[in-house]
Each structure stands twice: as structure tokens, then as C-alpha cells.
Structure 1
Amino acid sequence: MTTAAKAEYKALTNEEAEALVKNLGLISETELSVSEIGDGNLNLVFKVTGVNESVIVKQALPYAKVVGESWPLTLDRARIESDALIHAAKYVPHLVPKVLYTDSILAVTIMEDLSSHTIARKGLIESNAYALLARDIGIFAARTAFYTSDFYLHPFEKKRLVQSFSNPELCKITEDLVFTDPFFDHETNDFPEELRPDVEQLWSDAELCREAGLLKYQFLTQAEVLLHGDLHTGSIFVKEDSTKVIDPEFAFFGPLGFDIGQFIANIALNYLSQHHHSQEPFNRKETQDKLLKTIEETWKTFENEFSRLFREESTEPFAGTDGVLENLLEKTFTDAIGFAGCEIIRRTIGLAHVADLDSISCSDVQHYLKRKALKLGASLIKTRSSVTTIEQFTSRVRGA
């Protein structure tokens, strides 16, 4: 990987993205084609292709595409994303795309092409199962967390990394869209009028809003480990024998349970959506059972791997004290359940929805399942301390 500086920022055209790849010699072929394939909210994404080789050129825009230039965003998130991928590659190189080039001025990262994979959300909506997904995400979350925690790093190195991954603008998006706006009558919220009675009931639930506020405070203040920060099924590429975590531009130091909570929430939303997407009853049950097993295996893999690393590699003197690991994992699990509840609610009535539910063409069915999601999310937030095992969590999802 090399890093270069350009004179000034400008949004790339297809031709400029192609020229950049040619000039860097990242593809040896001379005849290339390029297309802009980005469908996200924050970036341009170009695929530059030869006959036998291809790469992805990702460029941050100085505003949110979903809103427009009235919502400016820092270009430094491109540096944070590439640094997070490079850092993760130290510990889970098989679970992230290889970074080939970065340019902090152009806010560009060039990385390996993952066209042989499918976005996990799309594959799961189609009722596909991926045998490695749960284990890989559990390993990813455990290793990237432990190796950036105070249990492993020298305090000076930990604090240096916290500064390097300070990400206030992207964190503010999460603070607003996940933890704040969905719990108030805010203009960013987006839901059909048919759901208004359910949403207004949520807004008026004092216990729910108090507990959501406490979870937000944890997000704001607990710089425990380096997080992906946006670990949903749209940020994961999958195929039968491979999992790749992408798009860590929201990376920052936060509470240990946050990434796991986001991931299991999105699997839970897909579970609900399968009431529609899996039309045949037997196939539906099989698909939904596999989704619940994915949730359970993800947590158990995370717990086992984090515990192994904690016992074998921790440098903190108190790590050997009885109860330290157990209490940490208990808190992390409770937090993850609460964070999952917030994610479920915000993906249902907030600004950024999920295709799992929004792709359901029958509005009556979509609204019915979204009501289920709102009730599930609210219940998880309010009663997270009483959910003490991952099986209890999946039982809640099954009973939603």
C-alpha cells in the first residue's frame, strides 16, 4: 500500500477513477472499463475492470448523498475507514478486503474487488444461508475488540489510537439517528401514517425513552474498544467459503457490545421479514431457525474467542482476578441487547431503513411486521437486564 497527496479534493468522474488506477499500475492491463456502482448514502464507488483483473475505488463525498449538500460531512472518514481496515487486517486478514492504496486529500481508498461475494443483506432476504457468517462475525468482533482494549494495549498506545480514531461527525450521525431521533417526533423520522399510533405510543413511553437515553450515554462515554461502528448486514460481503467486513467509516472507540448488538439486530429484522420472503411454510421455518442459530453462534463465538484471548494474552494485572472477565462479558451482553433494540427501532421508523422490510410490496404485511419490530425493539431496550442468555434473546425474536 502507498499513500500519496493530491493538490486538492474533487469528486472523481469515471474517467478519472480509471486514470488513477492506470497511473498507479494496480491493474497491468491497458484496456479498462469503469462503472460507478455505489448505492450507499455517503460515497462514490467505482469498479475498474480489465479482462482478468479488477479493483474498487471508493471516494468519500463531502456530504451525505441521502440528503444532499445541505448535510456536509468530513472527508476524514475516508482515512478512518482505510486505517480501520488496515488495523483489522493485523488480526483478521481473511475477514476484510485488502487495501491497495489510499489518498487522504482525494479521500480515496482503492481495495480488492469482492464481486465474487454477495452483500449479506441481499442474500439473506433471498433466504440463503451462509455457514461461516456467524463464526466469522464472532471472530471479527472478538479479535478487533480485544486487541484494541486496555486488556491488551499499553495505556499510551490505547490513548493514541483513541485520538487517531476520533470520529465526531460520523458518531453524531449514530447519536442522532440510532439513539435520539426515533424516540422523538423528529423530522428525520420516516414511517407510513398507518404506523403513527404505534410510533406515538413509543414516543410517549417514558421508561423506554429513559432507557434509550442511558444507552446513548454509554455510546457517548465508554471508549472501550475500536468498533466497526456500522456492523449491519449491508456492511458484510459473503459467499459459501468467505466473509468480508467492509465500510468501517463509522469506526471509533466505543462500548464493547455495540457491534454485536447492531449485527444481531439486523439478523432479527431479517427473521421478521421471512414471514413474507419465505412463502412456503416449511422453508420459512427452516430459514428462520437458521437465522436464530446465526444469532446464537455469533454471540457464543464472540464470547469464547474474547475469553480465550483475555486469558492467554491479557497484559492487565487485574485480568487474573476472579470475576473480571465474567462481569465484563455480562455487561457486554446486556449492552448488546439494548443496542440491538435501538437498532431495530431506528431501522423501522428512522431515516435509514432496511430492505428486509421495505422490499415487502404488500403494505399491510409490511406494516404488520414493522409493528412487530417496534414492539420487539422496545421490549429489548426496557428489559435487557432480564435477558441473560443468547437463547433468551432468540426466544424473544421468535415470539415477536
Structure 2
Amino acid sequence: MLTRNPYEPLRSETLPARLGNLPEMTGRLGSAEGWRVREVGDGNLNLVFIVESTIGSVVVKQALPYARVVGESWPMSLDRAFFEYHALTRLGARDPGRLPALHLFDEGQALQIMEHLSPHIILRRGLIAGTFYPALGEHLGRYLARTLFRGSDLSMDTARRKADVALFAGNVELCGITEDLFFTDPFWDCPRNRHTPALAAQVTVVRADRDLKLAALEMKARFCMCAQTLLHGDMHTGSVMVSDTDTRVIDAEFAAYGPMGFDVGSLLGNLWMAYFAQAGHRADDAGGDAYRSWILQLAETVWEVFVAEFSLLWRTERGGILGGRELFENQADPLGAELMLHGLLADIWSDALGFAGIEMHRRILGLAHIPEFETIAEEERRAACERRALAAGRELAVHRRAFLTIAQVSDLVAGIEARAR
């Protein structure tokens, strides 16, 4: 452990000397003299290094005392590494094999040593490249169902769950970032915002859109007031790593208790943005239509598998303080339990659409943008893709209760794209 030393950010050239005596490193890599270190962190908050040798490799992740996306002018606590560690242990146990293995956590250095996922890449990159991942929808749908169900009062022992709620309530700083950057900043002239210049007229429209701003505030209230389950908290296509056959979820430092629909909606919103970005990446590609259709099917599969797995867990694992078996199954009324499940899934679906719609606005008009749009070099082409995503996002946020099936959402998204041609 390194905690006896004052906190110090790692650098590629200092990492071997500082970590070279840790058995969690040497047992997997051998002597530090043979290590190769490269920094790969491209996120908004942390340092990330891949450390390799002739016998193995690991990832070293360290929190910085500021937001990397802005710089030292935005100081941040190192506590996010503590909350990420606790989130990884819990989420990983709820869907074994879907998160990277954690080898070491050092709280004093805000540092984690974990499994190096290879040949995996960030899902965003695969979507930009037009790569198909046959098992992805099933993996993500089951992950969402298992972690959201098993982290709730439908499953957990009530004393342990309340202790967990108290623990993660301490993740105030990152929750505050979500509450501001996600739900508030995109809808007013916040200095942190940025947008494609060709969207200036659209920005004015959004800030004057009372119905959209009401939807944003309603979803913010839902996020703040509904502690249903432990969330990943930043569940987008940059927090998923994929190979041809495997899917892993990473970067859980935004973990907090909140509504089940938040993680679901954040992921679906990013998939729908990836759909709209395709016209900017392969407008003249003969396979573009097929890949767009596959992204829509991917989103449908995620939701359909989520519903199936969540329903299975409801029928086979339900037992927390909200289980309600004494009111239904124990009184020979299984239909009552099914009606309760149906109502819960309807609420999750409505929430998911609302969160997806707001996510689609904050990724275009707020601080943290997505490579799917940002890598479209031609400004007007990029803006055209973003306008279509904003149109879909508004419909989902404002009219979230009008969409009863994901097929209806696919029709909405595909229709907006078709009308733009």
C-alpha cells in the first residue's frame, strides 16, 4: 500500500518506481524494470495508464484533485475513487463477470489497479467505426436488470441497503455534477456550456422551451428524490468496453442511489445519438442504412432483455422489504404480483425515456460532449445530426408517457432521420 506517503499524481515515467514494490503489480507483471507504461486516459476526470510486461498487463486508474476536462480551476475531492471502489465491488457481485476485476484499491492515493481488458475497445469507437457486436444487447440488458434489481429494496436486506444508502449519500460532489450538468446547465446560458456554432438558433429555441425545461426539472426531481437502487450513474457508450464476444462496464465513480430508469435511459439515449451520428460518418456508405437499423435493434434488444431478466428476477429472487409476497403469492394471488411488476416496469420505462431525452440535450448543448458527434469534422453536417438528435430528445423528454413500446421510439427516431433526407 502507498497510503503512508502523501498523495501524488502518477506520471508514466514515475509509475514503475512508485508501484514497483506492490505484489499486486509484480505478481502479474514481474519486475518493474521490464514494465511498459502508457497513459490512455481520455475521460473527463481521471488518470488512466496501461502497464504491460512480457508476462501480463494491468490498468492503473487514479483520481485527480480537479476535473481533468476543465483543469485545476475546477478543484475536486479525491473521494470519488472511494465511491467507485465500493460501487465496483457491489455492481460486480450483482452481475459477475460484467465488470473488470479489481486487484487493489489505495484510498490515500485515490488509486485502483484492475484488470486490463484486451482486446476490448470503448463501445463509442466501435459504433463510430460501424462494428457489429452480436451479444452486446443481451449483455447490457441483463447487466442493467441484475444490478438495478439486486441493488434495490426488492432484493437487498433492508438494514444493509439503508447502510449503503447512507454510504453513497456521501458522493455529494459527483451527484452535484450530475444534477447541474445533466438537468440544468444545458437549458440556460451557463458559462460551462459549449455547442456547435451552427446550432446557435437551436440553442435559443431550447432555452425558451418551457415544456422542455419543465420536463428537465421533473426528471431532476425524480433523480434527486427517488433512491430506488444503486446506479452506475454514468451509463453511456463511453463506459462500456467491448470485444467480439464480451462486454464490460467501467467507470462507476458517479455511483449513487437513484431511480432505476436513470441508467437505462442514459444508455438508450447514447445509442440513439449514435444512430443520428451515422449520417455524419458514413453518409455515402452503402452499408449505412443497415448499420443504423442495427443500432435501433440494439436499443430494442437492451430494453427487451432488461424486461425479461427483471421479470425473471422479480419472480425468482424478490424478497426485500418491498417484495410483497405476503400480500400476493402467499394469499394465492399471483396475478397481484404480476400487476405490481407491470406497474413498476411502466414507471421505469417512462423514467428511462425522460432521462434519455435530457441526456441527448446535455451531450450536445452542455459541457461534456460525445465523440460520435465531435469527430464529424464538417460543422454543418455535425450540426444537422445534432439537430435531429435534439428533436428526438425533446419528444422523449416532454412526451415520455406517450410512448408505450420501444418500437414506437424506434419509429420516432427513424422517422426524424428519414424526413431529413
TM-score bracket for the superposition, by shorter chain length:
over 0.9
* Contact 1:17–1:46, Cα closer than 8 Å, also in 2: no
> Which of 324, 336, 343 is the aligned partner of 1:318?
324
Counterpart-to-counterpart distance in 2, 1:208 and 1:142: 29
Q: Please tell me the residue identity of whatever aligns with 2:216.
A: A
Counterpart-to-counterpart distance in 2, 1:374 and 1:217: 22
- 1:138-149 correspondence runs (5 A): 138-149=141-152
- 1:4-43 correspondence runs (5 A): 5-25=3-23, 26=25, 27-30=28-31, 31-43=34-46
- 1:214-363 correspondence runs (5 A): 214-280=218-284, 282-315=286-319, 316-318=322-324, 320=328, 321-322=336-337, 323-363=339-379
* Contact 1:6–1:106, Cα closer than 8 Å, also in 2: no
- 1:41-60 correspondence runs (5 A): 41-60=44-63
The offset of 1:16, in angstroms, is: 3.7
Residue 175 of structure 2 is aligned to residue 177 of structure 1? no
> Which of 362, 369, 375 is the aligned partner of 2:391?
375
* Contact 2:239–2:250, Cα closer than 8 Å, also in 1: yes
Which residue of 1 is the match for residue 402 of structure 2? Answer: 386
The offset of 1:211, in angstroms, is: 1.2
Counterpart-to-counterpart distance in 1, 2:10 and 2:196: 37
The offset of 1:85, in angstroms, is: 1.3
Which residue of 2 is the match for residue 365 of structure 1? Answer: 381
* Contact 1:134–1:297, Cα closer than 8 Å, also in 2: yes
Counterpart-to-counterpart distance in 2, 1:19 and 1:269: 43
The offset of 1:19, in angstroms, is: 3.2
Counterpart-to-counterpart distance in 2, 1:43 and 1:196: 31
* Contact 2:29–2:52, Cα closer than 8 Å, also in 1: no
* Contact 1:78–1:108, Cα closer than 8 Å, also in 2: yes
Instruction: Extract unaligned runs of 5+ from structure 1.
Output: none
Which residue of 1 is the match for residue 331 of structure 2? Answer: none
Counterpart-to-counterpart distance in 1, 2:17 and 2:306: 42
Select between 43-52 and 330-339 the one with higher mean Cα deviation.
Answer: 43-52
Counterpart-to-counterpart distance in 2, 1:207 and 1:264: 22
Counterpart-to-counterpart distance in 1, 2:156 and 2:163: 10
Counterpart-to-counterpart distance in 2, 1:291 and 1:397: 11
Q: Please tell me the residue identity of whatever aligns with 2:215.
A: E
Counterpart-to-counterpart distance in 2, 1:255 and 1:23: 43
Task: Summarize deviations over 1:362-382 as a string: whole Å, max 9, x none.
Answer: 111111111111111111111
Counterpart-to-counterpart distance in 1, 2:290 and 2:29: 46
* Contact 2:212–2:398, Cα closer than 8 Å, also in 1: yes
Residue 194 of structure 2 is aligned to residue 190 of structure 1? yes
TM-score of the superposition, structure 1-length normalised? 0.96
Select between 373-382 and 21-30 the one with higher mean Cα deviation.
Answer: 21-30
Which residue of 2 is the match for residue 158 of structure 1? Answer: 161
Residue 118 of structure 2 is aligned to residue 120 of structure 1? no
Select between 353-362 and 100-109 the one with higher mean Cα deviation.
Answer: 353-362
Q: Please tell me the residue identity of whatever aligns with 2:70.
A: V
Q: Please tell me the residue identity of whatever aligns with 1:312.
A: T
Which residue of 2 is the match for residue 213 of structure 1? Answer: 217
Secondary structure of the structure 1 residue equivalent to 2:108: coil
Q: Please tell me the residue identity of whatever aligns with 1:394.
A: S
Which residue of 2 is the match for residue 82 of structure 1? Answer: 85
TM-score of the superposition, structure 2-length normalised? 0.92
Task: Summarize deviations over 1:121-177 as a string: whole Å, max 9, x none.
Answer: 001100111111111111111111111100111221111111122211111111111
Secondary structure of the structure 2 residue equivalent to 1:244: strand
* Contact 2:198–2:380, Cα closer than 8 Å, also in 1: no
Secondary structure of the structure 2 residue equivalent to 1:318: coil
The offset of 1:4, in angstroms, is: 6.4
Counterpart-to-counterpart distance in 1, 2:157 and 2:196: 50
**Residue correspondences, number:** 398
Counterpart-to-counterpart distance in 2, 1:307 and 1:249: 28
Select between 360-369 and 333-342 the one with higher mean Cα deviation.
Answer: 360-369
The offset of 1:20, in angstroms, is: 4.4
Q: Please tell me the residue identity of whatever aligns with 1:232.
A: H
Task: Summarize deviations over 1:375-395 as a string: whole Å, max 9, x none.
Answer: 111111110000110111111
> Which of 98, 101, 112 is the aligned partner of 2:101?
98
The offset of 1:93, in angstroms, is: 2.2
Counterpart-to-counterpart distance in 1, 2:29 and 2:156: 40
Task: Summarize deviations over 1:36-71 as a string: whole Å, max 9, x none.
Answer: 211111111111110121111100001101111121
Secondary structure of the structure 1 residue equivalent to 2:367: coil
Counterpart-to-counterpart distance in 2, 1:127 and 1:173: 32
Secondary structure of the structure 2 residue equivalent to 1:94: coil
Secondary structure of the structure 1 residue equivalent to 2:51: strand
Aligned in 2, Cα 1:171/1:317: closer, same or farther, shift over 3 Å?
closer
Instruction: Extract unaligned runs of 5+ from structure 2.
Output: 329-335, 417-421
| Cα-Cα RMSD | 1.4
| Identity %, equivalent residues | 40
